[in-house]
Structure 1
Amino acid sequence: MRELARRIVAQFVVDRRVLALAFARMADGVGNSFLIIVIPLYVASDVVGGTTLGLEEAMIIGIILSLFGFLNSSFQPFTGRLSDRIGRRKPFILIGLGGLAATNLAYVFAESYLSLVFIRSLQGISVAFIVPASIALVNELATTHDRGGNMGVYNTFRLVGFGAGPVAAGAVVNLGPYGLPGGTIISGFDAAFYVAAITALLSYAMVTVLISDPDSTKANAGADLSISIRDRTGPNVLDPIFTLGVASLLMAAAIALFATIQPQVNGRLEQGSTWFGLQFAAFIIAQILLQTPIGRACDVFGRRPFIVGGMILLIPTTLVQGFVPSSEAMFLARLLQGIAGAMVFAPSLALAGDLAGEGESGSKLSVLTMAFGFGIAVGPLSSGALIGYGFYVPFVFGTVLAVFGSILVYTQIEETLETRTALPIVGGG
């Protein structure tokens, strides 16, 4: 019994470097998500001005925010592949965090809309250095039987930071200006930018002191880094990592439909912005609560059941949002949609990590992170274009995406985990 208990406990052990990296990403997540709230307020203030090229203020805000996602996702395959070729992850994470700290501070000196566009673009490129290298490092520090749990822990802390940032950002801006020793006064906006820069520097310090690259990463640098679309070795038509990337894009787009239609949601449900905030947060709450336990569970029961089950659950939880009659029902639908997302995300990264060969983690896993980022960008654009045809139309569109994603993962994904060895029985082989 003692041996069995030891092996069960071992399922919940996390490499200290993974935990340190998770805390570092939580810190930079706080600072980065600060800007989601602060930048629209900053653009709408009298602090910045200049030419708008004939665009409305709302469009300028949309461009500034969306540039981050598109550039971040577009550059991830290149930075992931480069980190594989060099055989090091830590320098890429530090370059990204350094760039993030510098650009967060640069907002203090921005005086025009074009400067905001430029700074936000640089931030997207900076984060493109962080994401593939971080995910690859987590993958390389894990083993087949704890990879899902490690991915879950990493994503949980990252999401805690991302969820906490917007809550604190509004308070920091609204409580300004602040008086400092010596009579210096800083505005609420500047204080928010300083906080974002400090969190990035804190992450930089944590990675510098606590993170190191595994020896195997450098030893396997320069492996075959090609990304296949067709399945070259297995029984299916599509490569499983490519399939997971497509499914991640479809899932993210379906989830992100909700983000840009706040007026329509509030009007249909006769609710205020507080309810919308709770409904938006419900997805993140489910992710925070479930990423780690689902990651652990997929180390025991396999990756495929969770991925397929999550994509199937995404179908009704997306569709019902177009027809719910009350604020409470919308909150529940978003919560269940968050459960579906949690069932897909960590197991997908774990399955892709299982398939990635030595020295390929950056290239292979960046397919998923890039696709998810593009989905988050495509979703709001889709709902904005479709909402004029009827409130339910964007959600029907998202449901079609979820159906297609479910078919893909059900037919093209095979299990990678030998479940019978995930939790060995005492006395077993």
Structure 2
Amino acid sequence: MGLLGRLVAPIVGGDRRVIVLGSARMVGAIGNSFLIVVLPLYIASGIVNLEGLLGGQIGVGAATVPVTEPLLIGFVLSLFGFLNSLSQPWTGRLSDRAGARRPFILAGIALLGTASGLYVFATDYWTLVVLRAAQGLGAALTIPAVVALVNEYAAGAEERGENFGVFNTFRLFGYGFGPILAGVVVEGGPYDLSGLGIETVLGRPAVIDGFDAAFLAACAGAYLSFALVYWLVHDTEESAASSDTDVSIRVFGDDRLLDPVFALGLATVAMGICVALFATLQNQINLRLDQAPIWFGIQFAAVTIANVVFQVPVGRAADRFGRRPFLLAGFVLLVPSTLLQGVVTTPVTMLAVRLLQGIAVAFAFPPSLAIAGDIASEGESGSTLSVLTMGFGLGVAIGPLTSGFLVEYGFIVPFAVGAALAVGALLAVVTQVEETLGVSA
């Protein structure tokens, strides 16, 4: 069996319901990640009216900063991450209370897709802000409910890690390759549809520029995801067992300082920050390594590629040998793989370090979700697992802002701070999180 066969076989052999959910999330992730590439280009193209915004200032006293185009782009991109992550505990709790996951998933996907389509009409900045905020709320409705359903589809603890590995593989594949497809779509425009007998599209001539094509493709991807979930995904009996107990986030543990799920949530915030530090520093990295921009794209994707390759094998191994060894190994690897990004001086070594960081995430994240799933009581998967999904999303939103601020003090500084956070995450896991699955033969 070839390499591709060995990678695909564990996924094909997994729970088909999880594969369907993963496929739906992959299609949705492709459409949503389109916008990571498209929105900055769209704002910079001059189509979006920024009159009255540029040249102003925000902040107070010494903290006052000028309003620039990059700042406006950064705000509209970060808004999605912050609203998404901070809303997840509430939407996860609502799905627990309702005793249903599917309606939340469908509502969230519909909101994401509709907002993507409405971008074709957005010609001022504040409309973009409103649509991006709506997408953040849509993702918040979807993610906790999807993760809870993946947890509930596990027949027992011995399948939970593999389920999360399969699901995350599909999701990350969509997230990683969506921006590449977006670049192709934007560069390929405009598209003349008159040859297909179409005279107008959404009230406009049948010539669609690259931006509108990308927005409509993102919308179509979301609604394809909606159709997959509507026809093939159903709630379980465990979903219907809504909890009558308090499902608020527990901070303190019974016999230790922190609740283990909360400790994992904090560690996941640190992991998200470490992964996302790289995103803001394209110009500095290309100059430091004397590399072409294509190298940065490959290095950026390396974390996702490593995750796609290792998520399922790690999840399956965690079901057999226990969660904690892989969890600890992941955070141990996260420390040097983050710090070394501020030290290496060649494109190839940066690629190797980024691949190592991707392996670290693959070792840490599926076992973290599996531990939270093991701990979650019946009917509480949404609120319990949302602590981790919120943590990673919050970290990914904070990371670019952190590196953009700290790089002014030296190129290595953001990565040194990230490595320090990774050490703190490792200590939290070592001291606050115990094994939830006995070692089996």
TM above 0.5, yes or no, is yes
* 2:238 partner SS: helix
CA distance in 1, matches of 2:137, 2:249: 21
1:177 to 2:185 alignment? no
State whether residues 260 and 383 of structure 1, in contact with CA within 8 Å, keep that contact through their aligned partners in structure 2: yes
- Structure 2 regions of 5+ residues with no counterpart? 1-8, 57-66, 200-205
1:403-418 to 2 correspondences below 5 Å: 403-418=423-438
* 2:48 partner SS: coil
1:161 to 2:161 alignment? no
Q: Which residue of 2 aligns with 1:426?
A: none
1:308 to 2:349 alignment? no
Shift of 1:14: 2.5
- The one-letter amino acid paired with 2:116 is N
* 1:145 partner SS: helix
Q: Single out whichever of 147-156 and 45-54 deviates more from structure 2.
A: 45-54
1:230 to 2:242 alignment? no
Q: Deviations over 1:87-128 (max 9, x none)?
A: 000000000011011101110111101111111011000110
1:380-419 to 2 correspondences below 5 Å: 380-419=400-439
Q: Which residue of 2 aligns with 1:363?
A: 383
* 2:158 partner SS: coil
CA distance in 2, matches of 1:325, 1:198: 42
Shift of 1:135: 0.3
Count of residues in Structure 1 that have an aligned counterpart in Structure 2 = 411
Shift of 1:290: 0.6
CA distance in 2, matches of 1:220, 1:116: 37
Q: Deviations over 1:230-259 (max 9, x none)?
A: 112xx4221100000000001111111111
1:114 to 2:126 alignment? yes
CA distance in 1, matches of 2:241, 2:383: 16
Shift of 1:171: 1.0
State whether residues 256 and 376 of structure 1, in contact with CA within 8 Å, keep that contact through their aligned partners in structure 2: yes
1:122-141 to 2 correspondences below 5 Å: 122-141=134-153
State whether residues 82 and 394 of structure 2, in contact with CA within 8 Å, keep that contact through their aligned partners in structure 1: yes
Shift of 1:11: 11
- The one-letter amino acid paired with 1:321 is Q
Q: Which residue of 2 aligns with 1:241?
A: 261
1:1-150 to 2 correspondences below 5 Å: 13-53=13-53, 54=56, 55-142=67-154, 143-150=156-163
Please, which of 216, 220, 241 is the counterpart of residue 194 of structure 1?
216
State whether residues 47 and 111 of structure 1, in contact with CA within 8 Å, keep that contact through their aligned partners in structure 2: yes
CA distance in 1, matches of 2:279, 2:50: 28
- The one-letter amino acid paired with 2:244 is G
State whether residues 11 and 19 of structure 2, in contact with CA within 8 Å, keep that contact through their aligned partners in structure 1: no
CA distance in 2, matches of 1:326, 1:218: 54
Q: CA RMSD in A?
A: 1.4
CA distance in 2, matches of 1:164, 1:264: 24
Q: 1:10 to 1:271 in 2, by over 3 A?
A: closer
State whether residues 11 and 312 of structure 2, in contact with CA within 8 Å, keep that contact through their aligned partners in structure 1: no
* 2:250 partner SS: coil
Q: Single out whichever of 177-186 and 57-66 deviates more from structure 2.
A: 177-186
Q: Deviations over 1:255-311 (max 9, x none)?
A: 111110111111111112111111111111101111111011100011001111110
CA distance in 2, matches of 1:395, 1:104: 34
Shift of 1:400: 0.5
State whether residues 98 and 242 of structure 2, in contact with CA within 8 Å, keep that contact through their aligned partners in structure 1: no
Q: Which residue of 2 aligns with 1:375?
A: 395
State whether residues 93 and 248 of structure 2, in contact with CA within 8 Å, keep that contact through their aligned partners in structure 1: no
CA distance in 2, matches of 1:96, 1:328: 40
Q: Which residue of 2 aligns with 1:268?
A: 288
1:299 to 2:319 alignment? yes
Q: Which residue of 2 aligns with 1:5?
A: none
1:208 to 2:230 alignment? yes
Q: Single out whichever of 411-420 and 88-97 deviates more from structure 2.
A: 411-420
CA distance in 2, matches of 1:48, 1:378: 26
- Structure 1 regions of 5+ residues with no counterpart? 1-8, 424-429
* 2:157 partner SS: coil
Shift of 1:79: 0.4
Shift of 1:388: 1.0
Q: 1:154 to 1:23 in 2, by over 3 A?
A: same
State whether residues 52 and 60 of structure 1, in contact with CA within 8 Å, keep that contact through their aligned partners in structure 2: no
* 1:419 partner SS: coil
Shift of 1:187: 1.0
